[in-house]
Structures are given as structure tokens and as C-alpha cells.
Chain A
Amino acid sequence: MPEENWRALDVEYDNPYMNLAVEEAIPRKVGEGKVPNTVRFWRNANAVVIGYFQSAKLEVNFEACKKLGTTISRRFTGGGAVYQDRGNLNYAISIRKGHRLIPDDLSETFKILSSGVVEGLRMLGLDAKFKLFNDIQINGRKVSGAAGSMRWGTVFHHGSILISSNLSILSKVLIAPNRRLKDKYVRSVGKTVTTIRDELGRDISVDEVKENLRKGIEKAYKIKLVDDILTREEELLAEELFQSKYSTEIWNLGR
């Protein structure tokens, strides 16, 4: 079987809205067949990213965000709100529909597409396990959450990996699921969420994590990742999506 080459992109911006605009531009172009299947790694500096179906008002502490300079943004996939700083690495996978990796069952898709990251974390010496239906855990604590979509002729899967994020800021900017249970929730955040650094018991660079995730993805998907850059078409589309959607209040706070 000939080797299957995918694109690896390392594209990130200071502006979280632009990061999310690129996040949409890539699967659109993959679906059009203009670019190969793609894995993107990127980070946000200081942002809350809420799920497509979530209410900003109900999930995010606006006051805390204002105080901490945290941007509130919305992604195009479902799932829950996440806090992202430089200690959090995002990965995004865009695969053209009909690919051998994609099963019919959606829940199974999450599992299969998480397998690359699980493999990469294991290469780092961590006992990472996929947990239904969109988490990766180490020793029973969540280190990564994933979300996905099927649109534009593409199966899209992305997730956030806590490498060394500030978990105390996370509990300030996100509203606890039930106000009455707030104390319990805040305590449980420290208990149920973990970081790669804490699990390894040493500092680790983002590059080292990324390198292992790349290898894990190559092994699990049986592909080869080739470094590349965004095409001009993707950049133009991202710019357009930034202007018309991701930087607008109606998109981010409208629900």
C-alpha cells in the first residue's frame, strides 16, 4: 500500500477569533478537495472557547474574564466550554468524507480519531485512555476533551490537551454547572482534571508533547505527516470568516 501523506500545520494567532476562523477554513477546503487531509496544532493565549450550542451567559463568568483579559469565543462544534492558555495545546483533524478511518457510528468516530492522541500520550509514558464519548483520561482524570462535526464533505475532529494550564483560572472564568454546587465543583475541578506536567511529575515543553502527538497520530492512523503552510485560499477564507462570524458579538454572545 502506498504511503498516505497528510498535511501538518503549525498555525496560530494571538487573536482567538482568527484561530477559530482558520479552524473552520481548513475543513472547508479539505472537503472541497483543494488540500489534503490535515492535522493542525495551535494554541490560544488566554481565551474561553464555548461549544456551538452553549449559552455564553450561562457558561462564562463575564466579570472574571474582563478582569483576567480572557476573550470569550465560540467554536463551530458542539460540546462544552474550555479555558485555553499557552499551557493548552489544541489539535484539529480534517479528513475528507469516505476515508477508510471513518466508521458509520458517530460515537465510534470520536474513539477512532482520539486514538492518535491517546497513542502519542502513551509514547510520553502516560497511561492515557479514551473515555466515552469524547474524553481522554490519565489515572481517571481528564487531560483532554474532544469535539467534532461532519460538514462541508469533511469529518472534523478537534480537542484540547492540558499540558500545564492554569487550572485555577479555569474555575474562575467558567461558571459551575449548578450554582448551589459551586464549592463542590471548584474542588472537583482540581480532582477530576489533570495536566500532562502533573501526571509526568516534571516540566515538559509544548514541542515535546507535539512531537509525540505527531508520532502517535502517524502510527494510529497509518499515515505520514508532512509539514506545510495554509494555502492562499484558506487564508482568504479564514479572513472572511473572521470578519463575518468569529469576531462578531452575535456569533460569540448571541446565545
Chain B
Amino acid sequence: MIRVTVEEKDDRIQKIMITGDFFFYPEEAFPQLEQALVGVKADEEAIRKVVNLAYEKLGVVSVGVEPRDFVAAIMQTLRGRQHA
């Protein structure tokens, strides 16, 4: 399960924390994924682009979770629901 805490200002992500029971390698790169999302427009397409790019640039491999799961979790939190 992915849990997202997000603050939005002027339709952009201002602060974000993504937590959960997933496996993400290299682990130390995870804060960079969160950081990359700060300032990004709070819409699905923009978020998907950044998550995919972060995966590619940071050489991320994940188990139990895929980029689209992060996107879905962020979007559901932005829409005020929790992603299960």
C-alpha cells in the first residue's frame, strides 16, 4: 500500500511525502523521486511524466509497485482519497 501526503499550492505540488510497504532500488534514490515531484503541476499527465523520468534517470527497479502505482496514489490523494 502506498500512502501519500501532499500539499498543493496554485495547482502545483508544494510538498510531498510518499511512504509504503514497497521495494524500491536503489533505496537512497527515493528522496530524489519525491524531490522531482515538487513544483510539478498537479495533473496526472505531468506527474506520470516526472515519475517515469525519475525511474529512468535514477535507474530505479521496484518490486511490488510500478511507476503507475505511484501516479495513481498521488492522484487519488490529490482528489482526496486514499490509494489502497
A residues at B contact (CB < 8 Å): 51-55, 58, 76-81, 106-107, 110, 133-134, 147-151, 177-178, 255
Contact = CB atoms under 8 A, between A and B. Distances in A.
A221 B82 CA distance: 41
Contacts of B84: 177-178
Contacts of A147: 23
B17 A78 contact: no
B19 A79 contact: no
Interface of A is mostly: loop
Contacts of B20: 51, 53-54
19 contacts: A52-B27, A53-B20, A53-B22, A53-B24, A54-B21, A55-B3, A58-B19, A77-B23, A77-B27, A78-B22, A79-B22, A81-B21, A106-B23, A106-B61, A133-B63, A134-B23, A177-B84, A178-B84, A255-B17
Interface in B2-55: 3, 17-27, 30
B19 A78 contact: no
A55 B21 contact: no
Contacts of B80: none
B24 to A, nearest CB: 6
